[in-house]
Structure 1
Amino acid sequence: MRHRQGTIRKIVIANRGEIAIRVMRAASELGIQTVGIYSQEDRFSLHRFKAEESYLVGPGKKPVDAYLDIHDIIRIAHQTGAQAVHPGYGFLAENPDFAEACAKGGLIFIGPTPETMRALGNKVLAREMAIKAGIPVMPATDPLPHDDREILKLAEKIGYPVMIKASWGGGGRGMRVIDRAEIILENVAAARREAKAAFGNDEIYL
């Protein structure tokens, strides 16, 4: 595999389980060496032993938090002499800060640029880009204000039923279908809380 910065000879796979194993298989077919990472709880997992090298990531952290430890993943990449990082999907795969940290650390992030992720990771901005490109889109609002009357007006303008969606993230978190005005405000509040807990941002839209 080649990149504008040179040949990729070794990659760190910043993921676990089947996802990591699939990336390892593809890398092997391309003649690229693989470095696996594993949390303390995953020390006996198959992906650890399928990689040519494997290292504990996020010592002392909970399983999910360990795989979100950007600083330690970058450290492992430098320690092993890897030229690139493959995020798999989930965990840090859609995190523009991770892609940016890789670039700052002189590593190739195998995925979109931070700018692309920031633009398309936010559904409201992605929709605006689609409109500018002349792509048909469904009626929707900008990020909802913290004004109950305005929210009711916006929902009425679109027409029920409406769907509440989180601007960031995915997987159905913060998503709700609302069929009448009487229940929209309580669901907006609940969706904001869920989006904040899941994605660190409570921005939602209709």
Structure 2
Amino acid sequence: MIVAEDLTRVYTMGRVEVRALRGVSLSVAKGEFVGIMGASGSGKSTLLHILGLLDRPTSGKVLLDGTDVLALSDNRRTQFRLNRLGYVFQDYALIGELTALENVYLTSLVRGDQEEDYMRKSVDILERVGLGDRMDHRQSELSGGEQQRVAIARALVNSPSILLADEPCANLDSQTSKSILDLFARLNEELEQTILMVSHEDWHKEYFCRVATLRDGLIEDVTECRKG
């Protein structure tokens, strides 16, 4: 499902080189819910962005569903992202002028899907995440937890192989965070959804199958948390 081999990422800032990743290798099987943890600056988000095709490594290899994604052209990488990957970010990244339903089906419009299909899928996924009665509400009319559920629905509407979440609970209180993680766990169990999530909260470990802990751009250890 996900295979990363010896990933490095070096950023050049003037005359200074910042080594965000120093040779990271990680495998995630289909249907796993894996956490990426570590201190600030350890390379967590850099790794997630590379695996989500939002950034390129300086060196190394990434296989997603058996595809060598770093060898793809820019256009094919874009298509791969649209069709095979879903993203959830801590700031929700919703368009305020659009309703919850419109935010969810926006990527389907970009894909050129048929209206009947994307409307049905968008309504279905919003109902699955518990927002069946909030579809016509705009961002300003939704709580933080509801906004994150819209973002999750948007990420899942095209049935991605892999869901990538970058600290999706960072802006939420503990009770709302638990509801979001409960939702992730249910999607992982019921849909066998593969999820890779960056987190900084120790209590989140109870939800993960495994945790990869980064330190100074390297994986320090990989710990089993629960039976996947």
TM-score (norm 2): 0.24
- Which protein is richer in strand relative to its size? 2
- Which protein is richer in helix relative to its size? 1
Greater CA radius of gyration, 1 or 2? 1
TM-score (norm 1): 0.26
